[in-house]
């Protein structure tokens, strides 16, 4: 077979409501999610005598704990066939940012394997595998925006929201998703930080995980507050469970100047990316 190259796009939660803790230990959520097609990892599948997996990010494990490898094992078990492939992952989405990089990689792995094996499992079985592997993996199996409920595995196609031009800013540190949800119930709001919904472009942007994440990582609250004070931004929000914060940019905003100012005034190590949400 010829090498198969597939993109694994990042995501943004335009809204994320946490409704309570479930009996299974997860949290019930209601979230509107969109993809960032311009920010994507890359997966390459090559025919091989056995299975191997490589990643160009040395900070990520390439063993059985990696979501790509877990997706391969799940597919092998469900399809009853070995995966004789060499899979290479090129990371562009920062780890621990709340942008869904690992989940997108797992979903794209499932899609790639089923494409290589000529649809052996099909869309419904892939969705089942995705839901078993992680809460928001199923979102990445289909294009477009979606409303995600349950623990994130119930996916309902949503009307395409307006495309937003966004600036993403992330400090060096990461925020583990389980820690953010684990602190949600007992956390308190910080004074002077706005947590209610921002209305922009006909959308209501809100994230209930800001409360626990900002309480522990006050720099992220400061970053959001700083963005909201800038004329270039119409809204700002924590991305998922963080540690990325994104700003919705006004039409004439110079994202490069804004990112430079953030690094100069707040943190010289900030990673940044500018682009549009998918429609």
Which tens digit of pLDDT belongs to each residue from 233-247? 999 999 999 999 999
11 is catalytic: yes
Task: Please tell me whether residues 138 and 207 are part of one structural domain.
Answer: no
Q: Give the CATH number, domain containing residue 225.
A: 3.30.70.890
Q: How do strand 4-21 and strand 27-47 relate by DSSP bridges?
A: antiparallel
Residue 243 · residue 174 · CB < 8 Å: yes
Q: Residue 63 belongs to what domain range?
A: 4-157
Alpha carbons 167 and 101: distance in angstroms, whole number: 17
Name the active-site residue from 11, 35, 170, 224.
11
For 93-146, the pLDDT digits (tens) are 999 999 999 999 999 999 999 999 999 999 999 999 999 999 899 999 999 999
105 is catalytic: no
Which one of 141, 157, 173 terminates a domain? 157
Paired with 247 in beta bridges are 167, 236
Spatial neighbors of 273 by CB under 8 A, at least 6 apart, are: 39, 167, 168
Which one of 105, 139, 157 terminates a domain? 157
Kindly report the pTM of this predicted structure: 0.95
Residue with token string 């706005």: 194
Alpha carbons 237 and 223: distance in angstroms, whole number: 10
Task: Please tell me whether residues 198 and 237 are part of one structural domain.
Answer: yes
* Of 176 and 26, more confident: 176
C-alpha distances out from residue 151 to 77, 118, 154, 278, Å: 24, 30, 7, 23
Residue 21 has a pLDDT of: 84
Q: Give the CATH number, domain containing residue 55.
A: 3.30.230.10
Name the active-site residue from 41, 105, 114, 136.
136
Residue 129 · residue 74 · CB < 8 Å: yes
């Amino acid at each position: 077979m010829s090498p198969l190259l597939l993109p694994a796009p990042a995501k943004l939660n335009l809204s994320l409501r946490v409704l309570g803790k479930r009996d299974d230990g997860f949290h019930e959520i209601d979230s509107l999610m969109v993809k960032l097609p311009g920010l994507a990892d890359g997966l390459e599948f090559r025919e091989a005598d056995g299975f191997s997996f490589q990643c160009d990010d040395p900070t990520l494990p390439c063993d059985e704990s990696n979501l790509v490898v877990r997706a391969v094992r799940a597919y092998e078990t469900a399809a009853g066939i070995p995966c004789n492939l060499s899979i290479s992952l090129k990371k562009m989405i920062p780890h621990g940012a709340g942008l869904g990089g690992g989940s997108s990689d797992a979903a794209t792995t499932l899609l790639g394997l089923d494409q290589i094996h000529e649809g052996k499992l099909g869309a419904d079985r892939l969705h089942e595998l995705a839901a078993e592997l992680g809460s928001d993996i199923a979102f990445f199996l289909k294009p477009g925006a979606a409303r995600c409920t349950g623990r994130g595995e119930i996916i309902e196609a949503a009307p395409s929201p307006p495309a937003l031009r966004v600036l993403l800013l992330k400090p060096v540190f990461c925020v583990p998703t389980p820690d953010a949800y684990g602190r949600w119930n007992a956390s308190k709001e910080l004074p002077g930080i706005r947590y209610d919904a921002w209305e922009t472009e006909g959308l209501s942007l809100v994230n209930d995980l800001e409360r626990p994440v900002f309480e522990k990582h006050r720099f992220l609250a400061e970053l959001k507050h700083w963005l909201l004070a800038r004329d270039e931004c119409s809204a700002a929000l924590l991305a998922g469970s963080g540690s990325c914060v994104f700003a919705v940019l006004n039409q004439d905003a110079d994202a490069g100047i804004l990112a430079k100012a953030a690094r100069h005034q707040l943190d010289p190590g900030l990673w940044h990316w500018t682009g549009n949400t998918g429609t």
